[in-house]
Structure 1
Amino acid sequence: MSARDSILKRLRERTDGPLTAPESDYSVMGGRGWTPEQRLAHFEEKITSVHGEVIHADRSNWADALTQVLTDKGVKRLGVGREHPVAREAREALAGGAVELIDVERDIETWQREQFETLEAGLTSTRGGIAETGSLWLWPTPDEPRRLSLVPPLHIAVLDADVIEDTLFDVIASHDWANNMPTNALLISGPSKTADIEQTLAYGVHGPRELVILVRH
């Protein structure tokens, strides 16, 4: 019998009965009681404090705001999916324009160099936001792979104002992550940043230098 099996055997044969999880009060981790307006204000305050840029747009014409961002940032090559409604609306709005739309649902080996060297921006949808920390949360798919938000120097994320929740715990509970968590959930709280031993922040070292959030109302 291996050491591991021996330890497990002793645990199973405990004389004082099986181990049970202690009662836990998780109320302190969620339920801030904020209104939708307060959630949005908290979210914007936190994410802009770490160089995230928030742009508000109407749901009916948010693609106009996207076009303006691409113009202002000088983007000529945009990575974008095809299946998600955000991607479809963006493609329709940008069709025939000056921005080249790059398909991202390809084997990484076939376009790795292009992705890291010439792709100027990536556009993604989001599943929601977290007010307390100023974070976005994304579930990558083959249509919107995680590298779309992690590799290009500019990440443009589309967030609906009504899916911002108070805390990460509220997200976990309301979306049943205990039973339905994806293999890869992304939490994004600003552009890529790192710090040296003197804690001097540098942006864009390991990922996007800029993060623009288009908040749709």
Structure 2
Amino acid sequence: MSVRDAILKRLRERADGALVAPESDFAVVTNRGWSRGERLERFERLLTSVHGEVVHASRDGWTTALAKVLVDKGVRRLTLGRKHPVAVEAREALVGGEVELVDADRDIETWQRELFETVEAGLTSTRGAIAETGSLWLWPTPDEPRLVSLVVPLHIAVLDAEAVEDTLFDVIERHGWATGMPTNALLISGPSKTADIEQTLAYGVHGPRELVVLVRHAEETI
């Protein structure tokens, strides 16, 4: 029995009975009651207020929007996964084009310098977004490691419009974090930013200078 298991066993066998979670009222962190349109509007307003960009596209036409973003931003080297449907669709749309596609699902020790010095943008999927704070939430995987969104100059994230939820509490409850908490969940609320002692805000010092969110809508009319 490990030390951890021994400690937990002693806690469970307390003389005064097992520990029971107290009754809690979580109303303050949930029950916003926003409609889908209100959630999306709030998310976009908060994200763009901190220099994030939002591009709307149909489900069928999002890769066309992606290609335009890459041209507009002057991207020549893009890193992305290979297995996630977002990466698969992007690769099919961009293959043979002017943008070099850099595989992200590799041991970082083999391409760390390349990632930090020559890759201009990273493309990731998202698990959803939070309307209350204007944040994306991601679960990095070996196919889409967290460095793809944390160290590139430009992070492009693909978000489904219906995946925007009211609050972080709603995300945690709806997706069962209590029984399957991710080892590394990322909350992204805009480009990287920091401020010095004089409160001068600077972007991109410790991560992406730019964040573009491609919002995919199921409807053709957006």
TM-score by length of 1: 0.92
- The structure having more radius of gyration, on CA atoms, is 1
Identity of aligned residues (%): 74
- Distance in 2 separating the partners of 1:55 and 1:66: 9
Equivalent residue, structure 1, for 2:65: 65
Flag structure 1 segments of 5+ consecutive residues without an equivalent. Answer: 1-8
Aligned residues: CA RMSD = 1.9
1:66 aligned counterpart, secondary structure: helix
Listed as ranges, the matches of 1:56-205 within 5 Å are: 56-205=56-205
- 1:125-175 Cα offsets, whole Å, 9 max, x none, are 000000000000000011100000001100000000001000000000000
Structure 1 residues 9-29: Cα deviation after superposition (integer angstroms, max 9, x where no partner): 9xx877x77664332100110
Q: Distance in 2 between matches of 1:43 and 1:75?
A: 26
1:77-129 Cα deviation digits (max 9, x unpaired): 00011101100000000010000000011111111110100000000000000
Q: Deviations over 1:170-217 (max 9, x none)?
A: 000000100011101100000000111122211000000000000000
In structure 2, what residue type is equivalent to 1:36? R
Q: Aligned AA for 2:203?
A: Y
Structure 2 Cα separation of the partners of residues 32 and 175 of structure 1: 18
Q: Which amino acid aligns with 1:24?
A: S
Q: Which runs of 5+ in 2 are unaligned?
A: 1-9, 218-222
- The number of residue pairs the alignment matches comes to 210
TM-score normalized by structure 2? Answer: 0.90
- Inter-partner Cα distance in structure 2 for 1:13 and 1:137: 38
Question: For 1:111 and 1:154, how far apart are their aligned partners in 2?
Answer: 18
Runs of 4+ in 1 over 4 A off after TM superposition: 16-20
Q: Helix, strand or coil: the match of 2:171? A: helix
How far apart, CA to CA, are the structure 1 residues paired with 2:149 and 2:21?
38
